[in-house]
Structures are given as C-alpha cells and as structure tokens.
Structure 1
Amino acid sequence: LPGGYNMELNEEATNVSQGQKQLLTIARAILADPKILILDEATSSVDTRTEVLIQKAMDNLMKGRTSFIIAHRLSTIRDADLILVMKDGDIVEQGTHEALLDKGGFYADLYNSQFESTDQTCA
C-alpha cells in the first residue's frame, strides 16, 4: 500500500475494497493498543473464513480493555461478557449469549434465523 499503515482511507478510496479497508482499520486498532475499543460492523465486508481469523485476533485484542462491539452478525459477539439487544432503538434484552438463547426471546430468534439461512445456503 502507498504509505503502508498510514495510507489515508476515506469513503471515496477506489484503490482498496471495503473488506480491505476494514482489515486495515482493525490492524491499526491492534497497533494502537487502545484502552477502549469501539467496533461498528468491523467484519461486515469480509468473507466468513477471514472473519474467523479476525475474530481470534480480536478476542486477544479485547482482553483487559473495555470493548463495544456493534454487530448484526451475531456470531461475532458470542463470547461477550454482556450483550445488549436493541430493537427499534430500544434495549429489549441483555445478558450473555447463552442466557439470551435460553430465554428464547428476540435475540434467540435473530440468532437462530441467521444460522437457519446459513444452513439453507449450504444445502
């Protein structure tokens, strides 16, 4: 990359894909070693295989720091200490992944629907 990690990324950048932008942003976060980490759909534009690798690195990055993860892919937040579930701008449920699945509410419906659609795609 021109400029390496310091390459300026903006919405108009046509020399890198959206997935590459996300990977560069994650790499910068790892190098910055912040006390607080905020990730908003950090892996939404990468393939599933890459997401698994990124998730392993992110698990290590989040240790010992406050992290806020905003995600629609619920597989990326399974190991969170606390999940806040929002619907129409309101927090409707909170708990761990297992507790929310056991509750059988909105989170469980969302989670199960994501994996049902994945199962149907693979069939």
Structure 2
Amino acid sequence: MNLENSLAYDNFINDLEKDVMPFVEKTFSVSTGTENTAIAGFSMGGREALYIGIQHPEQFGYVGAVCPAPGLVSGTDTSQHPGQLKDDELKFDKTMDLHICYVWQLLDGTGHDESSVEIYLYNYMQMIFK
C-alpha cells in the first residue's frame, strides 16, 4: 500500500455513483431510496464504505464495514494516507433528520479474511432486510 494506491480507492465513490448504481437500477428490479440502499465493504472496501456513507447519508440508509483499513482519518503514518476526513468530520451531518444506530461486533476466532466477512454479512443482512 502507498498513497497513490490509497487515493485510487478513495476515487471509488465516483465509479459507484456514476456507473455501478445506475447500472444496478437499470438492470435489476431494485427498490430505491435511502431506506432501501446499503453499502458495505471489507478491509479497504470497509474504509471506503464508511467514507461514502458519512459523505452521503442522504443516499445510504445502512453503512457496514468489516475490518476497515486505516486512512479514514490521519494516523501516525501519513505516507500511506493523510486521511480522507479530519477528526471532527468523522460524523454524520447533524442537520439531517437521521436515525443512527451503531452496532459493533467483535467476532472471536476470525481473522482478516472470509471467516469474519461471512459472519458479519450474515448478521448485517439480517439487520437491514427485516
């Protein structure tokens, strides 16, 4: 990982909004709107899911991250990433009418691999698709 690689991940928000979401809505029968839209990711994808969800709470009703990579805010090694957000920006917009529920899961016996992703996604889907 280096800064150039990290910044390429940060650019995913543009692909998601301009290409992926319109393709999904055009190709599949999906419900739209914030209450029907979720984003989740693992590792670097988890970091990006958090970033995108915080930047666009009007678009995503559910945000999930499994083992999110560092870089959302600056850390001790800014050569890999200076931080997508300042510490005081790591919050949802208080002016929006949001119902925010945080769930933290510590999964024993799992690692930074599919063993944590499978359990997390199962639990995440159970919570959002009621």
- TM-score w.r.t. the length of structure 1 is 0.29
Whose strand proportion is higher, 1 or 2? 1
Larger-gyration structure (1/2): 1
More helix by share: 1
TM superposition score normalised by structure 2: 0.28
Structure with more relative contact order (C-alpha pairs < 8 Å, separation 6 or more): 2
